[in-house]
Structure 1
């Protein structure tokens, strides 16, 4: 296949991408991210809560910037998704989601993009969608950032597929490391299946004018 690379802006699920390794290993608390206010959170504590759950919002920001040239604050997007039923927040703080079908409906209605949830979503279809100019949010295990030999399960984290060739898939990973696993991270097709849950959301170009903010 002809190599595909979509020039998609990158966003981390934390406002300071260079701090991701330290946040993940606990050396730095997310609440201490000096750029937390950019997230739209009302407090450091709210940012701490949401930042661990913003992989889908980071993917959406990338797509919105790619097609619309806008990247709304991540926590503001999460609050809209909560209202749309794509997240369910329980009184004890647990958060269910991101649920793909209501999320895709939100993206279509709020942002005018073509968005379709697919389960299953086989790798061959991912390649075809990328070749046709679309982007694909994939449910993978977060250890895809290091190509962990034996991840404990598949799924649980969202990344954005932005390119591909015969050998590899290229992803923007919201929780990737700045040493090369954040932007255009290479995932050999033979390695993908041990991380990939086989489902995701295909995002296409705008189908109508963007909704007013």
Structure 2
């Protein structure tokens, strides 16, 4: 696959990007309390960071989109602002979201981004979508970090597609467990399809 038309900065949903395996082994609440860089997230407390960081793959995707035009906004600051629009529902330490429609309103009003919720998207449709927009936030299984495995289900996690063709999809995965599965990971359309839940958000800057 050809190089992307421009470099899109990568950000993990945890402030220390190589913590994914620790999170999988020990659970987010335990592992993320060991993250020495947690304050960079915009969290006010370690408790706040440990709760949010496991749920903000969407905000990590948004942070990367904003960074591509030179704006750096901490992920949990984004999450708080998105929550005000209804993009997350927070209830006694549990977090539901990302909820797509309020997210679209949030990014339009806060950052002037043009975004569209898309459902019933065939994997083969994504290259055409990418021809008329800059990014596609795709709902996939988090096990996309292990493309050689069969996913237990589709959806539940978000990745940022930065380039797509009939030969392959290039994407940033906020919870990749090693460099090759974090920034500019590439899968064939057939492999991507095994993880893709046929929905997402197209975003133009």
Alignment TM-score, normalising by the size of structure 2 = 0.92
Could you tell me how far 1:43 is from its partner in structure 2?
Answer: 1.0
Partner of 1:80: 81
Partner SS for 1:139: strand
The runs of at least 4 aligned residues of structure 1 exceeding 3 Å deviation read none
Using the alignment, how far apart are the partners of 2:130 and 2:153 within structure 1? 26
The CA distance in 2 between the partners of 1:81 and 1:12, in whole Å, is 18
Match of 1:54 in 2: 56
Q: Report how far residue 183 of structure 1 moved.
A: 0.6
User: Following the alignment from structure 1 to structure 2, what is the Cα–Cα distance between the partners of residues 168 and 24?
Assistant: 28
Q: How does 1:101-112 map to 2 (within 5 A)?
A: 101-112=101-112
Question: Is 1:198 aligned to residue 193 of structure 2?
Answer: no
Hey, what does 1:129 align to over in structure 2? 129
Q: Is residue 89 of structure 1 aligned with residue 93 of structure 2?
A: no
**Aligned-partner Cα distance in 1 for 2:125–2:186:** 18
User: Residues 59 and 75 of structure 2 are in contact (CA less than 8 Å); yes or no, is this contact kept in structure 1?
Assistant: yes
C-alpha distance in 2 between matches for 1:156 and 1:65? 24
Q: Secondary structure at the match of 1:180?
A: helix
* Aligned equivalents of 1:94, 1:3: Cα separation in 2: 41
Query: 1:145 touches 1:181 (CA, 8 Å); kept in 2?
Result: yes
Q: Take 2:185 and 2:140, find their aligned partners in 1: how far apart are those partners? A: 14
Residues 127 and 166, structure 2, Cα contact 8 Å, conserved in 1: no
- 1:83 positional shift: 0.8
Show CA shifts across 1:157-179 (max 9, x none).
00000112332111100000224
Q: Secondary structure at the match of 1:25?
A: helix
Gaps of 5+ in 2: none
Matching residue of 1:8: 8
Task: Identify which of 39, 42, 63 aligns with 2:41.
Answer: 39
Distance in 2 of aligned mates of 1:14 and 1:108: 25
> In the TM superposition, what is the alpha-carbon distance from 1:3 to its structure 2 partner?
4.1
Q: Could you tell me which residue of structure 2 aligns to residue 114 of structure 1?
A: 114
Task: Give the structure-1-normalised TM-score.
Answer: 0.89
Match of 2:66 in 1: 64
For residue 70 of structure 1, report the CA deviation from its aligned partner. Answer: 0.9
Mapped partners of 1:89, 1:118: distance in 2: 24
The structure that is helix-richer by fraction is 2
SS of structure 1 residue aligned to 2:26:
coil
Q: 1:74 to 1:39 in 2, by over 3 A?
A: same
- Give 5+ residue unaligned stretches, structure 1: 206-213
